[in-house]
């Protein structure tokens, strides 16, 4: 069955495969279009795009941006943005702040008696942005913990002794920035985020879609988010959130969505571009 996958992590954040390897696996799985959506960074997109072109695959530029709002974390997927200087520098700032956050988390970890250096993570980990998964994997490699899941349940869990929230940006500002870059803003994995009460406000602030078709959503959740999307005039998208071995889906192709979702994503992009071109054109005064 062909299909698309609009949510994949590469080794430019906390995924296992390089963008080129992802493209190879997508091709093998018979998927025809895919996106790479690393955490707060678009540094892996050019490699993915080149590999997609070589393999005859359709590529959708993407990124997954973390925000912290009203004491809850949300992940916003952006698609089809242009890599404008303004959008790139926003992401660069978030990546830099993630690095500072990682240093602070490591300082906390060391205060608890471990021996960990940011260099250990930079050497073996991500080629782009750093997150808890990179810290967890390095700790396991160094024999400081038996598993990453033990760390995500202990030290690194939200509210845990080494946890520090991600850098954030106000949701409305983020939606505006995505639109200014010509991108489409989608709320990732709402079923895992569990703050459905925020969706109405996000829609009012400019959110374009929700990821109704997510690898962990059960059928009633999909139906629920499809209904919410209709209510707030949002599109629905989907993806596997593939990171690599160790959690479902452990292989690309195990979860895919219908190609038709790409049509509504492109339709939304067109609306955003039309609005953008109107804003950009100065009014011609008569006389």
Joined together, the tokens standing for residue 244 give 């690599």
Contact partner at residue 10 from Zn ion, ligand AMP, Fe ion, none, CB < 5 to 8 Å by partner kind? none
Q: Which region, judged by CB under 6 A, interacts with ligand AMP, from 45-53, 137-145, 148-156, 217-225? A: 148-156
- Min dist CB 21 to Zn ion, Å, is 17
Asked if 10 interacts with ligand AMP (CB under 6 A), we say no
Contact partner at residue 148 from Zn ion, Fe ion, ligand AMP, none, CB < 5 to 8 Å by partner kind? ligand AMP
C-alpha span between 62 and 237 (Å, rounded)? 13
**Inter-CA distances, 186 with 20, 117, 146, 236, 278, Å:** 25, 35, 35, 8, 23
Task: Decide whether 32 or 168 has the Cβ nearer to ligand AMP.
Answer: 168
**Binding test (CB under 6 A) with ligand AMP, winner from 8, 10, 14, 262:** 14
- Min dist CB 260 to Fe ion, Å, is 23
Measured at CB, which residue is nearest to ligand AMP? Answer: 131
Task: Decide whether 14 or 208 has the Cβ nearer to ligand AMP.
Answer: 14
C-alpha span between 76 and 187 (Å, rounded)? 5
Asked if 137 interacts with ligand AMP (CB under 6 A), we say no
Task: Decide whether 201 or 244 has the Cβ nearer to Zn ion.
Answer: 244
- Min dist CB 220 to Zn ion, Å, is 22
Residues recorded for the chain = 287
Chain contacts with Fe ion (rule: CB under 5 A): 14, 75, 188
Looking at beta carbons, which pairs linking 105-114 to residues 24 or more positions away fall under 8 Å?
A: 105/132, 105/135, 105/156, 105/162, 105/163, 105/164, 106/135, 108/161, 108/162, 108/164, 109/135, 109/139, 109/155, 109/162, 112/155, 112/161, 112/162, 114/139, 114/144
- Min dist CB 47 to Fe ion, Å, is 18
Q: What is the DSSP letter of 112?
A: T
Query: Which of 256, 209, 215 lies closest to 237 in space, CA to CA?
Result: 209
- Residue showing tokens 């999307």: 229
Q: Give yes or no for a contact between 120 and 138, defined as CB atoms under 8 angstroms apart.
A: yes
Site for ligand AMP in 217-276 (CB under 6 A): 243
Task: Decide whether 37 or 145 has the Cβ nearer to Fe ion.
Answer: 37
Task: Decide whether 52 or 65 has the Cβ nearer to Zn ion.
Answer: 65
Q: Which residues bind ligand AMP (CB under 6 A)?
A: 14, 39, 66, 131-133, 148-149, 152, 166, 243
């Amino acid at each position: 069955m062909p299909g698309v996958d609009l949510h994949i992590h590469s080794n430019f954040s906390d995924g296992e495969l390089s963008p080129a390897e992802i493209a190879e696996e997508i091709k093998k799985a018979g998927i025809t279009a895919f996106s790479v959506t690393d955490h707060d960074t678009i540094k892996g997109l050019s490699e993915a795009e080149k590999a997609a072109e070589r393999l005859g695959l359709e590529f959708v530029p993407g990124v997954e941006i973390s925000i912290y709002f009203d004491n809850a974390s949300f992940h916003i997927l952006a698609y089809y943005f242009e890599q404008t200087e303004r959008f790139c520098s926003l992401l660069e700032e978030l990546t830099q702040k993630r690095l500072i956050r990682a240093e602070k988390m490591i300082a906390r970890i060391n205060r608890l008696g471990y021996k960990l250096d940011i260099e250990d993570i930079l050497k073996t980990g991500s080629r782009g942005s750093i997150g808890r998964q990179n810290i967890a994997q390095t700790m396991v490699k160094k024999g400081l913990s038996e598993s990453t899941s033990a760390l995500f349940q202990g030290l690194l869990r939200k509210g845990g002794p080494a946890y520090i929230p991600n850098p954030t940006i106000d949701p409305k500002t983020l939606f505006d920035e995505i639109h200014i870059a010509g991108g489409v803003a989608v709320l990732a994995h709402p079923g895992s985020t569990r703050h459905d009460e925020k969706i109405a406000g996000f829609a009012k602030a400019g959110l374009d879609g929700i990821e109704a078709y997510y690898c962990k959503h059960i059928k009633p959740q999909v139906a629920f988010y499809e209904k919410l999307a209709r209510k707030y005039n949002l599109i629905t998208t989907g993806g596997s959130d593939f990171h690599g071995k160790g959690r479902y889906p452990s292989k690309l192709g195990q979860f895919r969505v219908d190609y038709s979702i790409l049509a509504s994503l492109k339709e939304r992009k067109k609306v955003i571009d039309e609005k953008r071109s109107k804003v950009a054109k100065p009014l011609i005064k008569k006389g």
